[in-house]
């Protein structure tokens, strides 16, 4: 089984995952742009019981457009978000793809909030599109 490790910039907060993610998506929404400092967010969701978290994190709860809540866990020392959990899906943990620092990580299969997409960004060829 594939073991992967995601970590913050300074390394004190990390998440170790077992097996492959159940969903990999890219999100072009403005909230993801602000959170990541990047034109889009890319994240992989894993079953919670396949993720072990090490280190200390600070939480930020964001209310989504649909009124749900997502709790983001980030490193109090360097600020990187290492994992987050939508209240609606307590059995899943989402991890920003960049936190794995692994260019061989599988590509997203879903692209959401394309209405907010920076037009110069590219998309994987077989991705499923959502506005
Ligand atoms: Zn850190
Ligand atoms: Zn988003």
Per-residue pLDDT tens digits for 33-59:
999 999 999 999 999 999 999 999 999
This prediction has a pTM of: 0.95
Give the C-alpha separation, 39 to 116, whole Å: 9
- Model pLDDT for residues 14-37, shown as the tens digit of each residue: 999 999 999 999 999 999 999 999
Tally of residues, the chain: 131
Identify which ligand lies nearest to the alpha carbon of 38: 2
Residues 106-118: tens digit of each pLDDT: 999 999 999 999 9
Tell me which ligand sits closest to the C-alpha of residue 57: 1
Residues with CB under 5 Å of ion ligand 1 are 8, 10, 75, 77-78
CA dist 117 and 120 (Å) reads 8
Distance CA 119, CA 122 (A): 8
Terminal Cα-to-Cα distance of the chain (whole angstroms): 34
- In the reported structure, the alpha carbon of residue 12 is separated from the centroid of ligand 1 by a whole-number distance in angstroms of 5
For residue 99, the ligand closest to its alpha carbon is: 1
């Amino acid at each position: 089984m594939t073991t992967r490790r995601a970590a913050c910039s300074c390394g004190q907060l990390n998440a170790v995952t077992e097996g492959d993610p159940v969903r990999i998506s890219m999100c072009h929404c403005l909230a993801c742009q602000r959170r990541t400092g990047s034109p889009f967010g890319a994240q992989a969701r894993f079953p919670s019981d396949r993720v072990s978290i090490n280190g200390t994190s600070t939480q930020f709860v964001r209310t989504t457009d649909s009124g749900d809540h997502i709790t983001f866990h980030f490193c109090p020392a360097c600020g990187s978000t290492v994992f987050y959990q939508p209240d609606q899906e307590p059995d899943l943990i989402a991890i920003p793809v960049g936190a794995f620092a692994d260019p061989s990580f599988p590509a997203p299969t879903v692209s959401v909030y394309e209405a907010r997409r920076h037009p110069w960004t590219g998309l994987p060829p077989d991705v499923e599109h959502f506005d």
